[in-house]
Structure 1
Amino acid sequence: NNLLKVCNALGIFKYSSDQRSLGFASNAQSEIIGDRASAMVRPEPCDLIVTKQNAQDVEYEAWEKDHPSALRSFEGMMSIAKGKKIIMFLDYDGTLSPIVDDPELAFMSDTMRSAVREVARNCPTAIISGRSRDKVYEFVQLNDVYYAGSHGMDIMAPPRRHKSGDTKYQRRAVDKKGNEVIIFQPAQEFLPEILEIFNELEEETKVIEGVTVEDNRFCVSVHFRRAKQEDYSLVEKKVLSVLGRHSRFHLTRGRKVLEIRPSIKWNKGNALEYLLETLGFAESSDVLPIYIGDDVTDEDAFKVIQKRGQGFPILVSRKPKVTMASYSLQDPSEVLSFLLRLARWRRN
């Protein structure tokens, strides 16, 4: 039945009862046999054959109707944004840089860096990543954006008091340009145990080829993209064995990565809200946040924007996914195109 649906969507059907190929129907290929009209489609070398890729394309097109391309929807989105203050939030891996086998080599292009710089000149811009804040800065190398690492558990924000008045998680510091900033770290108490977890994971996984353990300061990632597929279950077993010794932590899953994080009520959505507040836009009705991200941890930020009822959550994905995002982009190259158009729109 699913194949028939795909065929119907593509305009494809079987051309005879004893042949297995599928092709486009055309009037020129219809023949009159005797007194009866029998539409028989003869295969041509260029006829489309239904493949797994064709089916995936059809599935993506159907999904895209509910999550339209932010590039094709750009003019409509900007008509809504007109007269509002745009605040840009960006994930890093898979959004500003491609997903690569070695996480240490996830460099963004100079063109992407220039695009982010141009956007940041006209719109307050923050990068919210699962990486450590220092690592994200090392990759991005821009001083005009705010950085939130460890899924928002390590935020560099403007020097503005958080409305809760709780200052035990924050301290004043100076950024690379000499400007005063606030460093907000709600998981400080977990740092000694996070170091223990990092060391244990390195010890447990060192026998598995292709596994990399990354210290993200307030969480620990185990990357297994370069590991053999038959070792995936062993990687998970090793990670779970370490997790079992640390009751205050939990496991999250990403794209070929397992992560052990402190069990606190703080995520990328909370980080987005914190940054909006420290930027002075928490209660503003004329602010329009845009968040672009590609992974499951970005869904928390998408939910916050949906709850606010203002803003554009954009998922980066080549595959249909269950998501709270309203719009989509297929890959970092489309993210680049979107940022360049946004920068040009803001200048004009």
Structure 2
Amino acid sequence: PSALDMFDQITNASKGKQIVMFLDYDGTLSPIVEDPDQAFMSESMRATVRKLARYFPTAIVSGRCRDKVYNFVRLAELYYAGSHGMDIKGPSKGYKNKKETQGVLFQPASEYLPMIDQVYNALLEVVKSTPGAKVENNKFCVSVHFRCVDEKKWSELAKQVGTVLEAYPSLRVTQGRKVLEIRPTIKWDKGKALEFLLESLGYGNNDDVFPIYMGDDRTDEDAFKVLRERGQGFGILVSKAPKETYASYSLREPSEVMAFLRRLVESRRLSLRRQLRMRRRVQEIKVTL
């Protein structure tokens, strides 16, 4: 069901709990585009996420390199988990400083960095023979984009990638939306990153937390699954086509994501106003007594 249609049900379930927001970037905050370097979010989406972070702890969880996704989003008050959660940093102190001042929270795959660089360079050579293929170094993982590759060449490209990886048994390949992701075989994914961030925020074993995770790709399923297993919060899949998913709700595209986030902000703002009015009334009653 649509998260917009079920908005009241979602907010009712979160009453009395701290909402924590987890947002994928590509296809969720920004449209999917042919050139991954051009996946810019709109200024209106940036303003919406900025308002969201005023009311709820907010994290961007992306398959991209953390620095790259930070440069797209440019909001210092957020948590950033890049490379499918293998590179996590918290907000800048005072939010005014440059991103370099953010404390690194966790990098569970640091030992793989030299290997990732080797594979990146090897893949750059291999894909030269495939028009439209693009290799992206995401620091703790490598992405081979084939959105602009002739469909007849897809299986050949996958074989070439597999041949390179035969020399690296500690790396694995997963497939996303028109992309092959090469990453370490360690047991770490977006679901583990979600749990780590909740723990870092002090909500590890807390019943009063309500995490909402929004994402559009297969790698987001790890996070949706964690929320189902915890029995807390909801996953929201961003997809125009129905898919088998661990998410509880869906939205069709980034414009619907923005509409949902705006409603969430407005709902929280009204709730705080009501609480403030109630406190004032209580104070007035105490004064008259």
TM-score for the superposition, normalised by structure 2: 0.90
1-side partners of 2:187 and 2:119: how far apart? 20
Alpha-carbon contact 1:316-1:328 (below 8 Å) kept: yes
Instruction: Note the C-alpha offset of 1:182.
Output: 3.3
Would you say 1:73 and 2:2 are equivalent positions? no
Q: Deviations over 1:23-46 (max 9, x none)?
A: xxxxxxxxxxxxxxxxxxxxxxxx
Deviation at 1:177, TM superposition (A): 6.8
For structure 2, the residue ranges without an aligned partner over 5 or more in a row are 271-289
Aligned to 1:249: 171
Taking a change above 3 Å as real, the CA distance of residues 220 and 178 of structure 1, as seen in their structure-2 partners, is closer
User: Larger relative CO (CA 8 A, sep 6+): 1 or 2?
Assistant: 2
| Counterpart Cα distance in 2 of 1:327 and 1:97 | 19
Quick check: 1:158–1:278 contact (8 Å CA) kept in 2? no
Letter matched to residue 36 of structure 2:
P
1:136-151 alignment to 2 at 5 Å? 136-151=69-84
**In structure 2, what residue type is equivalent to 1:324?**
Y
- CA 1:178 to 1:231, structure 2 compared with 1: closer, same or farther past 3 Å? closer
Residue equivalent to 1:13: none
AA aligned to 1:254 is: G
> Any idea what the Cα deviations from partners look like across 1:225-273, whole Å, max 9, x if unmatched?
0111121122111111111111111110001100111000000000000
Structure 1 CA distance, aligned partners of 2:52 and 2:131? 41
Name the SS of the counterpart of 2:53 in structure 1: helix
Equivalent of 2:17, from 61, 81, 84?
Answer: 84
**How has the CA–CA distance of structure 1 residues 99 and 180 changed in structure 2, closer, same or farther, with 3 Å as cutoff?**
closer
For 1:305 and 1:256, the matched residues in 2 are separated by: 26
Q: Establish whether residue 185 from structure 1 lines up as the match of residue 118 from structure 2.
A: no
Spell out the pairing of 1:71-220 with structure 2 (5 A cutoff): 71-157=4-90, 176=98, 181-220=103-142
CA distance in 1, matches of 2:126, 2:99: 41
**Stretches of 4+ moved more than 3 A in 1?**
177-180
2:141/2:183 contact within 8 Å kept: yes
Matched-pair contact (CA < 8 Å) for 2:133–2:149: yes
* In 2: Cα distance, 1:141 partner to 1:75 partner: 31
Q: Percent identity?
A: 59
Kept after mapping to 2: 8 A contact 1:187/1:218: yes
**Structure 1 residue 70 displacement after superposition:** 0.3
Counterpart Cα distance in 2 of 1:275 and 1:176: 21
The residue correspondences of 1:1-348 to structure 2 (distance < 5 A) are 68-157=1-90, 176=98, 181-348=103-270
Q: In structure 1, what is the equivalent of residue 286 of structure 2?
A: none
Q: Which has the larger radius of gyration?
A: 1
- Deviations, residues 38-74 of structure 1 (Å, cap 9, x unaligned): xxxxxxxxxxxxxxxxxxxxxxxxxxxxxx1000000
Provide the rounded CA distance (Å) in 2 between the counterparts of 1:176 and 1:266. 28
- Return the offset for 1:83: 1.4
- 2 CA distance for matches of 1:183 and 1:338? 29
After superposition, the Cα gap between the structure-2 partners of 1:177 and 1:198, relative to the gap in structure 1 and judged at 3 Å, is closer
**Residue segments in structure 1 that go unaligned for 5+ positions in a row:** 1-67, 160-173
Q: How many residues align?
A: 267
Bigger shift: residues 236-245 or 216-225:
236-245
Change in CA separation of 1:226 and 1:346 when aligned onto 2, cut-off 3 Å: same
Per-residue deviation, 1:158 = 6.8
Give the Å deviation of 1:180. Answer: 5.6
Identify which range, 146-155 or 240-249, moves more after superposition. 240-249
Counterpart CA distance in 2 for 1:301 and 1:83 is: 23
Deviation at 1:197, TM superposition (A): 0.2
The two structures have a TM-score, normalised by structure 1, of 0.75
Give, as a single letter, the amino acid of the residue that structure 2 aligns with 1:150: S
Aligned to 2:282: none
Q: 1:213 to 1:75 in 2, by over 3 A?
A: same
RMSD between aligned residues: 1.6
Structure with the higher fraction of residues in helix conformation: 2
Structure-2 separation of matches of 1:299 and 1:342: 23
Q: Which residue in 2 is equivalent to 1:33?
A: none
